[in-house]
Structure 1
Amino acid sequence: MKDLFDYCDFGDLKLNSRIVRTGLWESQREKSGNMTPDIYNRYENIAASGVGLIITELYSLYPRDTFSKYSNTIHYTQFVREARDLTDLVHVYDVPIFAQLGFVQYNKKTQQNMKIEDVTIDDIRKIQTDMIIAAQKFDFGGFDGIQLGLGNYYFLSRFINPNFNTRDDKYGGNTFNRLRIVLEMIKVIKDNTKLHINCRLNAFDGTTNGMTLTETIEIAKLLEKYGADFLQITLPRSPQFFTRENKEENPLIEATEQIIDNVNIPVILGGGANSQNQINEMLNSTNIDFISMQRPFVKDPSFLVDWQIKGNGESFCKTCNNCYWKKTATCHLRSCNP
């Protein structure tokens, strides 16, 4: 039987458990971008808890992006040195750490939040170059990998989506062409860094003429073929979906299983789990091997320690989504602290 605390293979990496911690907002950095003792302490607590893999809070590619003031940044002179301190700290606990990279808007001088069809080939080359330079910084900073934000409503998720991409050049039209901007980046990153590449991808989006699970499976196969090492499956608005009030069955489980059946790289189920029994039941009733959690780590970065000691653990997170809506790295329900 599988257990969430299994020591297991994850591609060519070794994980201390099947739990992947995925971050979101970073509210504890200094205004200059520098990391603070609170950030280092939080990451150390997560690494020491028994987590398998850490994916950082979002690093926003562009300083003027809509999420940049709620996110990490690479745009300060001490970034590589501080990143190396952070990754060295996490590696003490034999935990790999990936940097999450994405952006929502592409802005060019007076043109703000440009539509996909208005982005020129020169703009595409700039985006690719900026992503590759960021990846090189993460490599210098000691990260084991990078997570490319191709899901939710980030820019690249819209670029690969036929509902938003109506281009008639080689970066529009069929699935391969819409994904070309990403595939070209993956090749360069793999050729020039030691980073593993994890792609965070929507299972489907539910929009008219948008992404279906069938096309997502095709995209997953292409990402694997062109060098992606791992996939993480999500929903466009996953934090809003996964609440205690929403009693529907997690729609990602069946979709993730179908994607797993069609690729030969590890696939992570993103979101929706909050108890030890729930996760173990899922692991043993499906072909899913890895589960991502975000908000339980916001509530208590060390909750996995109690789960290992006591068994049958349940997160103290109430899935109120205040950390999401208020865009912070800390829980707002102080009265519910364990």
Structure 2
Amino acid sequence: MKDLFDYCRFGDLRLNSRIVRTGLWESEREKTGNLTPEIYDRYENIAASGVGLIITELISLYPRDVFSKYSHTTHFTQFVREAKDLTDLVHVYGVPVFAQLGFVQYNKKTEQNMKIEDLTIDDIRKIQTDFIIAARKIDFAGFDGIQIGLGNYYFLARFINPNFNSREDKYGGNTFNRLRIVLEIIKVIKQTTKLHINCRLNAFDGTTNGMTLEETINIAKLLENHGVDSLQITRPRSPQFFTKENTAKNPLIEATNEIIRNVNIPVILGGGANSQKQINDILNKTDIEFVSMQRPFVYDSSFLVDWQIEGDGISGCKTCNNCYWKKTSTCFINRNPQLNVETNIEF
């Protein structure tokens, strides 16, 4: 029987458990973008808790992206030095850490939030170059891997989606052409860094002429064939908690399971579980071997310690989603997770 606290392999990496912590927003950074003591403390708590893999909060590719005020960027002063301190701290606990990299808007001088069909080839080369330069910085900073944001409604998620990409050149049309911008980035990152490459993909999106599960499976196969080391499966809107009953019938679980059956690289279920029993049921009733969690770590960065002791843990997160909507890395219910003190706050 599989257990969430199994020691296991993730490609070439060794994990202390099957739990992957995926970050989102970074509200505790300084205005200049630099890391604060609170950020280092949070990462140390997560690394020491028994987590298998840490994926950072979003690192925005561009400092003027729509989400850049809520995230890090590789452009901020001393990014490599400070990030190296962070990765060294996480590695003390034998935990690998990936940098999550993505962006939402592409802006060019006075042209803001450009449409995919309006990008020139030079624009595409600019995006690719910026990604590769950022990946080099991430490698220098000691990260074990990079997560390329191809999910949710990030720019590259729209680029590879037939509902948004109406280009008629070699970067539009069929699946391979729409994915070409990403495959070319991956090729150079593989040639110039030692990073494990993970791609975050939407399982489906429900839009007219958009991403179906069949299309995602085709993309997953192409990514594997072109050097991607692992995948994380999500959906455009942030996943909500699964019901305790019939978890194997949850659409995201079913889609992730089907993708796993079509590739030979590790695949992470992208969020939604909130209890030890739920996760172990998923692990033992499906082919899924890795489960991502985000909000429970916002509520309490050390909750896995209690789960290991109790053996039947349930996250204290109430799924109020304020950490998501208000774009913070802190919980609005549990103001002091180290003391496990809740405050009554009305919204």
User: Counterparts of 1:102-113 in structure 2 under 5 Å?
Assistant: 102-113=102-113
Q: Aligned with 1:263: secondary structure?
A: coil
TM-score, normalization by structure 1: 0.97
Question: Matches of 2:336 and 2:193 in 1, distance apart?
Answer: 43
Match of 1:281 in 2: 281
Does residue 209 (structure 1) correspond to residue 209 (structure 2)? The answer is: yes
Match of 1:309 in 2: 309
User: Counterparts of 1:162-311 in structure 2 under 5 Å?
Assistant: 162-239=162-239, 241-242=240-241, 250-311=250-311
Match of 2:129 in 1: 129
Q: Which runs of 5+ in 1 are unaligned?
A: none
How far is 1:250 from its partner?
2.8
CA contact (8 A) 2:34 2:77 kept: no
Match of 2:345 in 1: none
Q: Which runs of 5+ in 2 are unaligned?
A: 341-347
How far is 1:192 from its partner?
0.1
- CA RMSD of the aligned region, Å? 1.6
Does residue 44 (structure 1) correspond to residue 44 (structure 2)? The answer is: yes
CA contact (8 A) 1:102 1:148 kept: yes
1:278-328: per-residue Cα shift (whole Å, max 9, x none)? Answer: 100110000000000000000000000000011100000001100000000
1:219-246: per-residue Cα shift (whole Å, max 9, x none)? Answer: 000000000000000010024x448899
Q: Aligned with 2:55: secondary structure?
A: strand
Q: Aligned with 1:59: secondary structure?
A: strand
Question: Matches of 1:194 and 1:255 in 2, distance apart?
Answer: 30
**CA gap 1:130/1:336 in 2 versus in 1, 3 angstroms:** closer
Q: Aligned with 1:111: secondary structure?
A: coil
CA contact (8 A) 1:96 1:144 kept: yes
Match of 2:138 in 1: 138
1:78-136: per-residue Cα shift (whole Å, max 9, x none)? Answer: 11111110000000000000000000000111111111100110000000000000000
Q: Aligned with 1:57: secondary structure?
A: strand
CA contact (8 A) 1:243 1:319 kept: no
1:110-164: per-residue Cα shift (whole Å, max 9, x none)? Answer: 1111111001100000000000000000000000000000000000000000000
Q: Aligned with 1:101: secondary structure?
A: strand
CA contact (8 A) 2:33 2:77 kept: no
How far is 1:336 from its partner?
9.2
Match of 1:81 in 2: 81
Does residue 34 (structure 1) correspond to residue 30 (structure 2)? The answer is: no
Q: After superposing the two structures, state which structure 1 stretch, 326-335 or 300-309, moved more.
A: 326-335
TM-score, normalization by structure 2: 0.95
